[in-house]
Amino acid sequence: MKLLIGEQIIKTCELMHRMGYVLGGTGNISFCEGGHIYITPTKRDKATLNTRDIAALTMDGSIIWGEPSSEYHAHVGIYNLNPRAKAVIHAHPPITTAMSRVEQFPEMGPSDKAHFLEQPIFIGYYEPGSAVLAQAVGEASLISKIIIMKNHGIITWGTDLEEALLSIEAVEHFLQVYMYERLIKLGKW
């Protein structure tokens, strides 16, 4: 593994933890390069990882080293169906995760759309770590870079980790503004 990849994954983990998008051992981050997938370990606090903790997989999901996230199948599913994906992030930002429980996404205005490359796509609930979840997110990744999983959170992909994280940040910010707007309109402000 190139040290730079591990360092980028660790930096992204630290950012997500500070932003409140992952809590303890939740969420996972991967990067695909040279026919290998580098991914965060399972059930480990994202705020305390170091580069030695990063696991590696082959493109078919075989473990090369480490103890990969229990969600590694979803990452493999995206990479194998979508060759444009080079980075995948799964997180649980509070408002986005709450929205995943109601299966609807508010209408975006013109200025909101400037922050998105495309509309998020919702998929149904599938058992975390399952082959059917991997297939569903892989297929959804061909439609959008932003996938909201029912009762589960968000998974995004990008050409690099920054792009994947910015998608999560943009969704969470948009939903926060939407929530405040609704409260103001209800006179609850």
Using DSSP's 3-state secondary structure scheme, residue 79 falls into: helix
List 33, 67, 71, 163, catalytic entry? 71
Q: CA gyration radius for the chain?
A: 16
Q: Letter for the amino acid at 91? A: A
Using DSSP's 3-state secondary structure scheme, residue 95 falls into: helix
Please state, in angstroms and rounded to a whole number, the distance separating the CA atoms of residues 51 and 3. Answer: 7
Please state, in angstroms and rounded to a whole number, the distance separating the CA atoms of residues 158 and 130. Answer: 22
What torsion do the CA atoms of 41, 46, 47, 52 make, to the nearest 10 degrees? 20
Which ranges constitute the DSSP H helices of the chain? 3-19, 72-81, 94-100, 110-113, 131-140, 161-185
Q: Is 7 in the active site?
A: no
Just list the catalytic residues.
71
